[in-house]
Amino acid sequence: MDSINKEIIKNFKRVVIKVGSSLIVNLSNGKINDRIINYIVEDIKYLRSKGKEVMLVSSGALALGKHKLGLNNKTLKIQDKQASASVGQIILINSWQKMFSKNRIECAQILLTHLDAEIRKSSINARNTIESLIKLNSIPVINENDTVATKELRYGDNDQLAARVAQITSSDLLVLLSDVHGLYDANPIKNPNAKLLERIYKIDKKIEKISENTSSSISVGGMETKVKAARISLAAGCNMVIAKGDNKNPIRNLEKGNKASWFIASTSPKTARKKWISSQMSTKAGIVVDSGAVDALKSGASLLPAGILSINGFFEKGDVINVLDEKRNVISVGLTSYSSKEAELIAGAKSNEIEALLGYHIKDVIIHRDDMVIRN
């Protein structure tokens, strides 16, 4: 393992681990592969012991459901795939819960669609839920919501969904566990001389070309969707690795230098997020704050409701808004955790008074410092 890969493995704080259908489902009988689940749970326990925050994206529901309903080797309509995934999801989450429980780890199920991850308001809700679960020492087990999603069943197998999860949670590492070591310069099944690409810095036309679809009968995707996931991940400042996951403790094997394909981000998740916020077209709506809040923001603090003097215009939770001083100069822009209506009700209040004023509590801050860019 080279120095860059060692640095990533040593220093990452938050990781999304995605496990593919080809690992989860036993091809011979269509049943869950408990051995693989056990290895991955052991690795997650190990990562948590080192203070790492872990999220799990698990495929396999569709494959498990097809077998349970006797639909193997049949061409299925979208609604039949959705029905199969609904049946398989129960089997899948029960298997994960059983193995986590054996290791005295709590887990929780989260079902998302790609739209949940891409629409700003929905993605904020998803992020808040995931953040809460992590704080409560529970492992979020995430899968696509196949009952209402159709696009993912045709194109995804969760690779891109995992990348979106890494993006909205500002993770610094995405691990895609597969049945191959990584991305090769040619199809290794057809070409025995194919070479593993061990380090990739950008997704160019050459990389796209060699990531030809290698989907199996039980999964949807292959290398093509993994490279698409890498594009999302790198843009979010998150490093990504494709690694073989059908051996004992695949995550710890990465620490030992086992071969894999590493996609190296050129920036950090925090920097990438702030760059994205800065590039957004903010509305004319905003929040006017007092001089104390201005000083605090310039020192790197979050915006608290106590510093709000008034609300300008209309905005929804998740919108990019302006923060203005008393002379209406724009001090910063950022993603608001509250709507204009909510912000007006809690303006000037202490954070511990939010729930009493609104009847609920989203966050202590109106705009978190990680979701804010100071204007010069």
Question: pLDDT digits over 108-129, tens only?
Answer: 999 998 778 777 778 888 999 9
User: In what order do the strands lie in the sheet containing 106-112?
Assistant: 106-112, 138-144, 53-58, 14-19, 173-178, 239-244, 261-263, 199-200
Mean pLDDT, range 2-20, rounded to an integer: 83
**For the whole model, what pTM was predicted?**
0.87
Assess whether pLDDT exceeds 70 at residue 35.
Answer: yes
| Mean pLDDT value across residues 164-168 | 94
Q: What is the DSSP letter of 162?
A: H
What pLDDT is recorded for position 149? 63
What is the Cα–Cα distance from 166 to 252, expressed in whole angstroms? Answer: 20
Percent of the chain with pLDDT over 70: 92
In the chain, where does DSSP find H-type helix? 3-11, 21-24, 34-49, 61-68, 78-102, 114-118, 120-135, 151-155, 159-168, 205-210, 223-235, 250-255, 269-279, 291-298, 340-346, 354-358
pLDDT for residue 284: 75
Contact 86, 170 (CB under 8 A): no
Domains and CATH numbers, the chain: 3-269 (3.40.1160.10), 280-374 (2.30.130.10)
Higher pLDDT, 79 or 174: 174
The phi, psi pair for 138, rounded to 5°, reads -110, 145
Range of weakest confidence among 18-27, 69-78, 80-89, 287-296? 69-78
Could you tell me the pLDDT band of residue 155, with boundaries at 50, 70 and 90?
very low
Q: Which residues partner with 322 through β-bridges?
A: 286, 333
127-136, 179-188, 313-322, 330-339: lowest mean pLDDT where?
Answer: 179-188
Structure tokens at 302: 């979050």
Q: What is the pLDDT of residues 81-103, one digit of tens each?
A: 889 889 999 999 999 999 999 99
pLDDT for residue 125:
87
Tell me the CA distances in angstroms from 30 to 116, 176, 244, one per residue in order: 30, 22, 20
The whole-number pLDDT of residue 375 equals 86
The average pLDDT across 158-184 equals 93
pLDDT of residue 216: 42
Q: Which of 45-54, 65-74, 183-192 has the lowest mean pLDDT?
A: 183-192
Pairing type for strands 199-200 and 239-244 reads unpaired
Q: How confident is the model at residue 244 (pLDDT cuts 50, 70, 90)?
A: very high
Average pLDDT over residues 287-314: 96
Residue 117, pLDDT score: 77
d(CA 160, CA 200): 18
Q: Checking phi first, is residue 158 left (phi over 0); if not, alpha (psi -120 to 50) or beta? A: left
